[in-house]
Homo-oligomer: A and B are copies of this chain.
Amino acid sequence: MAADRVSERSLAVLHAIVGDFVATNEPVGSKTIVERHRFGVSAATIRNDMALLEDEDLIAAPHTSSGRVPTDKGYRLYVDTLASVRPLTVAQRAAIERFLGDSRDLDDALARTVRLLAQLTNQVAVVQYPSLRRTQVRHIDLVAVGENRVLCVLILGTGVVEQQIASLPSALVTEAWVHGLRERIAGAVVGRDLEAAVEAMLTLSESLDEWAQQGEAELVRRVSDVVLDQLRANRSDRIAIAGAANLSRPGEFSGTLPAVLEAIEEQVTLLRLFGELAREGRDRGDRLDVAASIGRENEPYGLQGTAVIATGYEHEGETSSSIGVLGPVRMDYASNIAAVRAVARYLSGAIGES
């Protein structure tokens, strides 16, 4: 492994370089390091270490005689060797409490969370909706809308409400008929979790076919298909985003701004990226852990030039969905990682109890 060659002190130098560069946005030279950090050695020694780091492709010089800048690989090693994630300040903890304290429902909690995280990190914050697989169906309703449409309303345990319209082929339906159908479907699915409800619904379909009068089979199928759709729908394919205004900090995103804006609008790219990253964090540590993806590592998503920090959060016992931030490669990893971790933990606790 290449990193074996870098000594204790070289690593410290790398940390110094990353730290200074993140703070000042200017290539940092050996002299600067010596006078800003209390290494016990002279600039020449630092230079030797820097030569080594450059050999390992951890830092690079923009032009022949100027200070050094971390490479993507350098940031990566920096993050991996980040020993103590600086804990949040008291003020920040208080902000979390205040912000998330009294959320009305799940949607509200997530909206607040993502805004908070954006504010805390000064980056673009992203949170994925939880999957709700283990959430109970609390109520289901069918309402005739117009003459050939039926609105299916599904209410879940966490207070989430989903609605979708089933269009029927011309035939009129009576209030009573809709009511009867509703009773049967409700009887089958209410009280079960979504996964079980899908099963129950599939079984029910057969008996519904018998219940249906002459010529009604098609109507019944249309409605039950919509209900099935709703039960199966993957809620975790949506994300909430906040802090897009942070993208305008000039010079940060050199040429990647278009890609980032597009990703925000597309959502699906971010979804994949954050999901992947949260999974990685989960697999690695024994505990819920934060993972980062830096620069070129994001190339498959067209987001080279950016860095992403993500982790999963727990909901109904499952660490189903991801939360994190997206920013320029040159970001303050230490505090951002701390913020993502803290917010994810708080969120896990908060939405469990509601």
Chain A residues engaging chain B, CB cutoff 8 angstroms: 104-105, 138-139, 141, 143, 145, 149, 151, 153, 155, 157, 159, 161, 163-165, 242-245, 247-248, 257-258, 261-262, 264-265
Contacts and interface: CB of A to CB of B under 8 A. Distances in A.
Contacts of A149: 159
A153 B161 contact: yes
B155 A165 contact: no
A248 B257 contact: yes
Contacts of A242: 265
Contacts of A248: 257-258, 261
Contacts of A264: 244
Contacts of A153: 141, 153, 155, 161
A65 B128 CA distance: 55
Question: Quick one: which of A151, A242, A243 has the most chain B CB within 10 A?
Answer: A151
A89 B157 CA distance: 50
A217 B292 CA distance: 54
A159 B145 CA distance: 7
The 8 nearest A-B residue pairs measured at CB: A248-B258, A161-B163, A245-B261, A139-B143, A245-B262, A248-B257, A248-B261, A244-B261
27 contacts: A104-B165, A105-B165, A138-B143, A139-B141, A143-B155, A145-B155, A145-B157, A145-B159, A149-B159, A151-B155, A151-B159, A151-B161, A153-B153, A153-B155, A153-B161, A155-B163, A159-B165, A161-B163, A243-B265, A244-B244, A244-B264, A244-B265, A245-B258, A245-B261, A245-B262, A247-B261, A248-B258
A269 to B, nearest CB: 12
A149 B257 CA distance: 45
A244 B139 CA distance: 38
Nearest to A260: B248
A186 B27 CA distance: 69
Question: Quick one: which of A105, A248, A258, A262 has the most chain B CB within 10 A?
Answer: A248
Given A139-B151, A245-B265, 9 more contacts: A138-B143, A153-B155, A159-B165, A242-B265, A243-B265, A244-B265, A248-B257, A248-B258, A248-B261
A144 to B, nearest CB: 9
A145 B156 CA distance: 9
Contacts of A243: 265
A164 B257 CA distance: 38
A245 B257 CA distance: 8
Contacts of A165: 104-105, 159
Contacts of A247: 261
A216 to B, nearest CB: 22
A149 B354 CA distance: 11
A194 to B, nearest CB: 16
A329 to B, nearest CB: 18
Contacts of A244: 244, 261, 264-265
A352 to B, nearest CB: 14
